[in-house]
């Protein structure tokens, strides 16, 4: 079977990881990545020996890029013409402009959480609504927090039927290496409900959701507390079993030394994961508690890498590679090496 040809637009925090994720999929081929010029990730790409071909979104920058000894394979339009589907990881708003290029050449595309919902035919999540993405032209992924949140809620929902959730997000203020947010020593509260709760209801309209978001001056991961109300009573032990059996959820505990977000980031580095990335969310076993019928737990969201599996799912759905949801996510999980801790 011929491999699906994929391109990545925007070689930044998410784009680098998307490129690596596609390169790991044995039934996909990464044709190349596109960016605007000599960014730090592009410098690193050159120093690593150019494992991926580089295309320029701003052709006028070619001379400056080649002056740095970085080979250029063509323009963004050249890349689009060579692929079956594009993963667009550009800054919010740029993807909507790039969509015109994708439409010009009749190519499908997947956009990230920062774009507005109307950029795509389907607001997509691999586990929760895979079928809705089948054979669609344009898909949009949920944000990092929403992606991880939906994984956990969907996991319980398919067993017990979740009626509603109330969430609190303790949100990292910026990615590692970002300076534009400033150096802060403060917490900042957003108006309720936060967009993650609203987005969850868009993906899972049968669940009522609301929540509060608090920005914190940290960089390595978000933490979400969830209070879920099931239709059918579910024990802590059953919830724990469901979480443990999910390849994109890692159950940890404070007794093991996982005291918070920094512990998980350090553990990913100790595992030798590139960039200290984790594709899976973590749920602390010792935060799973019952309050009457409600069940409460806390999740860690590794914001730089958590959406990569769902992007691979989106390619599978849009290109009709697998029509069965569980078959599709299982292949993504296999090629990304997810669930190894379960063995």
pLDDT tens digit string along 68-113?
999 999 999 999 999 999 999 999 899 999 999 999 999 999 999 9
Instruction: Determine the average pLDDT of the residues in 18-41.
Output: 97
Same domain, 295 and 314: no
| pLDDT computed for residue 35 by the predictor | 97
Residues 152 and 294 in one domain: yes
Q: Are residues 71 and 44 in the same domain?
A: yes
Q: What is the CATH number of the domain that holds 82?
A: 3.40.50.720
Helix (H, G, I), strand (E, B) or coil at 167: strand
- Give the residue from 301, 316, 331 where a domain finishes: 301
d(CA 289, CA 227): 9
Is 166 found in the same domain as 104? no
In this structure, are 296 and 337 located in the same domain?
A: no
Please report the pLDDT score of residue 274 as a whole number.
93
Look at the chain and report how many structural domains it folds into: 2
pLDDT for the residue numbered 1: 67
> Beta partners for 216?
172
199 and 271 co-located in one domain: yes
Share of the chain above pLDDT 70, in %: 97
* In the predicted structure, residue 3 carries a pLDDT above the cut 90: yes
Residue 216: domain span? 144-301
User: Which are the catalytic amino acids?
Assistant: 144
> Based on the domain organization, do 127 and 151 belong to the same domain?
no
CATH classification at residue 195:
3.30.360.10
- Give the pLDDT of residue 342: 80
pLDDT for position 219: 77
Rounded distance between C-alpha atoms, residue 333 and residue 82, angstroms: 26
Q: Based on the fold, state whether residues 60 and 10 are members of the same structural domain.
A: yes
What is the bridge-based pairing of β-strands 188-189 and 208-216?
A: antiparallel
pLDDT tens track for 123-169: 999 999 999 999 999 999 999 999 999 999 999 999 999 999 999 99
Preceding amide of 117 cis, omega within 30: no
Rounded-to-integer distance, Cα 191 and Cα 214, Å? 9
Q: What percent of the chain has pLDDT over 90?
A: 87
């Amino acid at each position: 079977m011929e491999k699906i040809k994929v391109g990545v637009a925007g070689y930044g925090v998410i784009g680098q990881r998307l490129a690596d994720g596609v390169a790991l999929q044995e039934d996909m081929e990464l044709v190349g990545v596109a960016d605007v010029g000599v960014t730090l990730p592009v410098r690193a790409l050159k120093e690593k020996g150019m494992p991926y071909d580089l295309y320029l979104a701003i052709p006028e920058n070619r001379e400056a890029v080649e002056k740095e000894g970085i080979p250029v394979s063509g323009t963004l339009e050249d890349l689009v013409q060579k692929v079956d589907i594009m993963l667009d990881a550009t800054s919010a708003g740029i993807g909507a402009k790039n969509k015109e290029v994708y439409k010009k050449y009749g190519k499908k595309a997947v956009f990230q959480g920062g774009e507005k919902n109307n950029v795509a035919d389907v607001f997509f999540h691999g586990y929760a609504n895979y079928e809705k993405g089948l054979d669609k032209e344009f898909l949009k992924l949920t944000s990092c927090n929403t992606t991880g949140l939906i994984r956990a809620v969907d996991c319980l929902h398919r067993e017990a039927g979740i009626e509603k959730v109330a969430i609190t997000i303790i949100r990292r203020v910026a990615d590692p290496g970002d300076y534009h947010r400033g150096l802060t020593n403060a917490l900042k509260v957003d108006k309720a409900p936060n967009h993650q709760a609203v987005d969850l209801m868009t993906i899972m309209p049968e669940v009522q959701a609301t929540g509060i978001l608090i920005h914190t001056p940290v960089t390595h991961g978000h933490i979400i507390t969830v209070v879920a109300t099931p239709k059918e009573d579910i024990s802590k032990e059953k919830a724990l079993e469901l979480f443990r059996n999910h390849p994109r959820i890692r159950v940890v505990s404070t007794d093991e030394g996982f005291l918070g977000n920094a512990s998980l980031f350090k553990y990913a580095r100790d595992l030798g994961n590139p960039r200290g990335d984790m594709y899976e969310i973590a749920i602390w076993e010792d935060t799973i508690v019952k309050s009457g019928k409600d069940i409460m737990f806390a999740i860690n969201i590794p914001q730089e890498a958590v959406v990569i599996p769902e992007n691979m799912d989106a390619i599978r759905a849009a290109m009709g590679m697998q029509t069965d949801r569980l078959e599709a996510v299982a292949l993504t999980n296999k090629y990304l090496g997810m669930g190894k801790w379960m063995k």
